[in-house]
Amino acid sequence: MQNIVMNNKKFDGKRLSDFLYSSFNGLTKNTLYKAFRKKDIRINNVKINEDTLIHMNDEITIYIVDELLFKKINIEKIYEDDNILVVNKPSNIEVLGDNSLTEFLKKEYSYISPCHRLDRNTKGLVLFAKNEESLNILLEKFKNKEIEKHYLAKVYGIPEKTNQTLSAYLFKDNKKSMVYISDVPKKGYVKIETSYTLLDKNERNNYSILDVELHTGKTHQIRAHLAHIGLPIIGDGKYGINEINKRFGCKTQELYSYSLKFNFQTDSGILNYLNGKTVQTKPFK
């Protein structure tokens, strides 16, 4: 049995099924509608037998075994010591929130906290601190750009330049969960910088593999910025091209955080031993 309170404005006035699919990563349509038929779901202690609309602060009780609500997740550990953990995040899981990567790891660690985030469907390396002292140091290092993150992106199209640093302006629309890119300053837009290096290209199928580095870490920055210059990430359902995604058979963006390098410029306390270290994993496995 699971008892949860609906406190996400995104789902206010929306169907219960949408909220439950978002809350439980292993829930299937078949399991949910079987629960409706058996009246195994209650809203504010009232049994329901069909999908219905929910509202803020509704209390939802679900009599479904955990095995049918949650996927079994195998998290690959890439590097670990007494202070940090680096894992290889799969797609379709958030770094923070209910049923997230962090919540999964908390079952094993007494203290674990992410130092940065990846989009739900972006795969790859996530750095966690295993104690508060390490967390404070690493957050400061990210802020001062002393930790270098590299991504690999499979994009549709072939860039004219083999490497380039792109500058633009980004606006985040929280209501639509979208960002917009402008080449010129506008009210509400913040400046962003994204660098890429062409690693490989396939002219026959018109795609490229890019090494991408963020100089400013804004929401959806890589996905939106590359799409803005005509190089949408293959598989990206939000900023990509659906026809292209179908052609390549990709349902999630081909974007992979594959490298973390510690470039400490100042004293790093108990983490000084990490300076100069690079942690990498193989992408597109």
Residues 62 and 106 occupy one common structural domain? no
Beta strands (DSSP E) in the chain are 2-5, 41-43, 46-48, 59-62, 76-80, 84-89, 113-114, 123-129, 147-156, 163-173, 178-182, 190-202, 207-214, 255-262, 278-280
Q: What is the pLDDT of residue 284?
A: 61
As a residue count, the chain comes to: 285
The Cβ of residue 94 has, within 10 Å, a number of other Cβ atoms equal to: 19
Q: What is the pLDDT of residue 39?
A: 95
Q: What is the pLDDT of residue 33?
A: 93
Task: Give how far the C-alpha of residue 1 lies from the chain's centroid of Cα atoms, to the nearest Å.
Answer: 28
Residues 33 and 60 occupy one common structural domain? yes
Q: What is the pLDDT of residue 22?
A: 84
Q: Is residue 174 part of a domain?
A: yes
Domain boundary residue, one of 111, 146, 181: 146
Residues 241 and 167 occupy one common structural domain? yes
Residues 81 and 49 occupy one common structural domain? no
Task: Give how far the C-alpha of residue 66 lies from the chain's centroid of Cα atoms, to the nearest Å.
Answer: 24
Taking alpha carbons only, the member of 228, 243, 146 closest to residue 194 is 228
Question: Cα dist. 58→19, 43, 46, 50, 100 in Å?
Answer: 12, 7, 11, 16, 22
Q: Is residue 281 part of a domain?
A: no
Tell me, what CATH number does 11's domain have?
3.10.290.10
Rounded CA-CA distance 58/129 in Å is 35
Whether 112 contacts 119, CB under 8 Å = no
Rounded CA-CA distance 189/171 in Å is 4
Tell me, what CATH number does 162's domain have?
3.30.2350.10
Q: What is the pLDDT of residue 233?
A: 98
Q: Is residue 283 part of a domain?
A: no
Domain boundary residue, one of 21, 42, 69: 69
Rounded CA-CA distance 221/213 in Å is 11
Q: Is residue 268 part of a domain?
A: no
Written as six digits, the tokens of 53 are 């609309």
Q: Is residue 34 part of a domain?
A: yes
Active site residues: 119
Residues 12 and 80 occupy one common structural domain? no
> Chunked in runs of 10, what are the mean pLDDT values of the chain (285 residues)?
89 93 87 94 95 95 89 88 96 86 93 95 96 98 95 97 97 93 97 97 97 93 97 97 96 95 96 98 73
- Read off the pTM: 0.78
Q: Is residue 262 part of a domain?
A: no
Rounded CA-CA distance 30/24 in Å is 14
- 101 by DSSP, 3-state: which? helix
Residues 42 and 125 occupy one common structural domain? no
Domain of residue 218 covers 150-257
Residues 209 and 116 occupy one common structural domain? no
